[in-house]
A and B are shown apart, each in its own frame.
Chain A
Amino acid sequence: MSLTRTNLAKTIKKQYFFKLKANITSFTLLIGVQLLALLFSLGGVASSSFGSSSIRLNTQYYTADIVIIFTLIWAFVMAITITTKPHRDLDFTFVTNRLSSSFANILYLLTVSIVGSMMAILSDNLLRVIIYTFLDKQFYSSTMGLQEFIMGISITSFYVLMVCSIGYFVGTLVQISSLFTILLPALFFGSLFLRPSMDEKPIITNAFEYYLLESSLTLFIVKIVITTALFFTISTSILNRMEVRQ
């Protein structure tokens, strides 16, 4: 009997579409999360106020920032979820190996990042329409140009994908030992109070700023791509040795 060899790329493709179908309900949560964020955004994300003797000027600023932040957290949760046992077992019902499973996962997360980012950036328009219709017709805004729009989606996608890779890594650690479910949150909240000295920012803030304050687009992409690749590679190599359906 001659047995046909199985093509890795084709398997990944099949798994990817299978995953997309299997996890479709996660988008309901995304919509819920974004609507919640829009609700929070209605109060404005920042305000300033100044005046002279004859004038008092209050300015409220509206952005989709909260929507994007919520989308990031959603993506983090999503990435953790797909590393859990039920999701890994799902792959092993059909043809797979750990590598194809991981690649399909990464492709799935990439899709999720792009779709989530598109929704988040578009929700900015929804926010403007809501404010204009229900809150105030005296509303200053400029339409996002096509360039800004594409930039917004791609940069947000980079952020979401990076957060996914971190979530995937965290999920993988938890799969190794459930001890991490206690250890990692403790580490996160603990690090908020971990500062080089009393007057300086916590280390975790520096980590955020490392990406958020980067103003060169090229450097930003390099930083994000390296971080993302690093986390995905580590996770994949850990998962590659993991047993399933025990």
Chain B
Amino acid sequence: MRVIECSNLTKTFFTKKALNKLSFSIEENKITGLIGRNGAGKTTLLKIIAGFIKETSGEIKVFSEKPFNNLNNSAHVIYVDDHMSFPSTIPLLELLKVAESFYPNWNRDLAMRLFEYFSFDPKTYHHRLSKGKTSTFNMIIGLASRCSLTIFDEPTTGMDESVRKDFYKALLKDYIAYPRSIILSSHHLSEIEDLLEDVLLIKDGKTYLQMPISELKEYAFALQGNNGEVFKLTSDKEVIFKNHIASNVTYVIVKNDGSKNLLQQARHAGVEISPVPLSDLCVYLTNETNGGIEDVFNEN
């Protein structure tokens, strides 16, 4: 069963296209990472899925229903980010009870244990929490609600290192205990790459690529060596990123087209071959140009 299906999804704000004919689908019970640069349309997409905003054109179905203004969708999909709003008059512990009343699959036990683990004061109010604590609390709501589709949009904003790690562990453990579809959008791909099964990379409001994370790891590799040699080796390849490290040394990332002999050729030519860290790869994939920030400072 497909949890999300969307085709040619377009969303325009005034004249700016946030999403531009985006098409993809997400299978049931998978943890999908939504990756993209700032302004790529991640949040817009997630809010359309959550039913907060309406697509301008195209089609989207979540659990085979249109999500906008759909009560069922609202009950099955929870969208967690650091802007979730809670009343300033209801203390935290009671907020958990309110959430429990709304979500049929709510796991009180989990909520309470997380609440205590992160040492929340039951009597304090949501608006008094620090940024990190806010994110942590929202995360608890997101996890404990056990919605069939749980969306975390930049869930770790403001969290410190250890809380972030705890969060990912909690997410994974609860996912194993109660499989459901989860979409994670994060800037810190390196942190979540062990968690993800699928990656959906969007660029300029379009799906750039969507594949299992294991494939993405072999999507490209890097070559580093003498300018001429590297140029020779990569002339028939799709270059993702190119950088001159020194006057005669070039670093190039190319798409893996599956040719085996490149490895040997490279070794003969004294060119180093290395895998590309996923987070780097995603950054390069979503760059506008083939060069990096260095290009700005290279005068020639």
Let me know if A96 is at the binding interface, CB within 8 A.
yes
Contact across chains for B71 and A94 when beta carbons are under 8 A apart: no
Inter-chain CA distance A96–B102, complex, in Å, is: 9
A90 and B85 contact, Cβ closer than 8 Å, known pairs A1-B1, A18-B98, A245-B52: yes
Let me know if A240 is at the binding interface, CB within 8 A.
yes
Interface pairs A-B: 7 shortest CB-CB: A22-B87, A94-B102, A243-B53, A6-B75, A97-B71, A89-B85, A95-B75
Can you offer 20 A-B residue contacts whose CB atoms are under 8 A? A3-B63, A3-B72, A3-B76, A4-B104, A5-B72, A14-B102, A18-B101, A21-B94, A24-B89, A86-B85, A90-B85, A90-B87, A92-B74, A93-B84, A93-B85, A96-B74, A100-B71, A240-B69, A243-B53, A246-B47
Q: Which residues of A contact B75 (CB under 8 A)?
A: 4, 6, 11, 95
Contact across chains for A95 and B103 when beta carbons are under 8 A apart: yes
Inter-chain CA distance A14–B72, complex, in Å, is: 15
Inter-chain CA distance A24–B94, complex, in Å, is: 14
Q: Which residues of A contact B87 (CB under 8 A)?
A: 18, 21-23, 90
Let me know if A8 is at the binding interface, CB within 8 A.
yes
Q: Residue A3 contacts which of B90, B94, B98, B148 (CB distance < 8 angstroms)?
A: B148
Contact across chains for B74 and A14 when beta carbons are under 8 A apart: no
Contact across chains for A92 and B72 when beta carbons are under 8 A apart: no
Contact across chains for A21 and B86 when beta carbons are under 8 A apart: no
**Size bracket, chain B contacts:** 20 to 34
Let me know if B99 is at the binding interface, CB within 8 A.
yes
Q: Residue A21 contacts which of B69, B74, B90, B104 (CB distance < 8 angstroms)?
A: B90
Q: Which residue of B lies closest to A6 (CB)?
A: B75
Separation in Å of the B93 CB from the closest CB of chain A?
13
A97 and B52 contact, Cβ closer than 8 Å, known pairs A1-B1, A14-B102, A22-B89: no
Inter-chain CA distance A93–B70, complex, in Å, is: 14
Separation in Å of the B54 CB from the closest CB of chain A?
6
Let me know if A128 is at the binding interface, CB within 8 A.
no
Let me know if A229 is at the binding interface, CB within 8 A.
no
A21 and B89 contact, Cβ closer than 8 Å, known pairs A95-B103, A244-B53, A245-B83: yes
Inter-chain CA distance A82–B24, complex, in Å, is: 37
**Size bracket, chain A contacts:** 20 to 34
Inter-chain CA distance A176–B141, complex, in Å, is: 31
Q: Which residues of B contact A1 (CB under 8 A)?
A: 1, 28, 148
Let me know if A25 is at the binding interface, CB within 8 A.
yes
Contact across chains for B101 and A14 when beta carbons are under 8 A apart: yes
Q: Which residue of B lies closest to A246 (CB)?
A: B53
Inter-chain CA distance A6–B76, complex, in Å, is: 9
A97 and B86 contact, Cβ closer than 8 Å, known pairs A1-B28, A14-B101: no
Q: Residue B74 contacts which of A23, A95, A243 (CB distance < 8 angstroms)?
A: A95
Q: Which residues of B contact A94 (CB under 8 A)?
A: 98-99, 102-103
Q: Which residues of A contact B148 (CB under 8 A)?
A: 1, 3
Inter-chain CA distance A4–B75, complex, in Å, is: 9
Separation in Å of the A4 CB from the closest CB of chain B?
6
Inter-chain CA distance A23–B90, complex, in Å, is: 10
Inter-chain CA distance A98–B69, complex, in Å, is: 6
Contacts of B67-125 to chain A: CB distance below 8 A:
69-72, 74-76, 83-87, 89-90, 94, 98-99, 101-104
Contact across chains for A92 and B52 when beta carbons are under 8 A apart: yes
Inter-chain CA distance A98–B104, complex, in Å, is: 20
Q: Which residue of B lies closest to A26 (CB)?
A: B89
Chain A, residues 147-181, CB within 8 Å of chain B (1/0): the string is 00000000000000000000000000000000000
